[in-house]
Amino acid sequence: MSESQTVSNTLPNLATVKNIPSCFPLLGLTTAAIHGHIFKAQDRFDSKGRKIAGNGLAASGAIIRRGRKVLIDVDRYGAWLAGSTAGV
């Protein structure tokens, strides 16, 4: 196996937030919905200091941040979508 094949096999399938809806066309996702998933990915606190549980997307490892750039691992995001509940 050549070095280029090894590198291509280990790199995740990444997409930007803008491109994710085209990866899952049957779901009817919008970029606003993707941003909502990312915003709610981790636990956070409301104005009274109560903890709001995250949706588990951050724990799935699907979000990759490089500075201001946010990339999504398409395979992990798809697995998270398949396992997430309809109300999230």
**Full domain range(s) for residue 23:** 13-83
The answer to whether position 54 is within a domain reads yes
Burial letters for 36-63: b for 16+ Cβ neighbours within 10 Å, e otherwise? ebbebbeeeeeeeeeeeeebbbbebebb
DSSP state of 36: H
Q: Which amino acid is at 63?
A: I
Work out the mean pLDDT of the chain and round it to a whole number.
88
Q: What's the total number of domains in the chain?
A: 1
DSSP state of 11: S
Angle formed at CA 35 by CA 53 and CA 87, multiple of 5 degrees? 50
Binned at pLDDT 50, 70 and 90, residue 11 comes out as confident
The answer to whether position 23 is within a domain reads yes
Binned at pLDDT 50, 70 and 90, residue 88 comes out as very low
pTM of this structure: 0.79
The answer to whether position 51 is within a domain reads yes
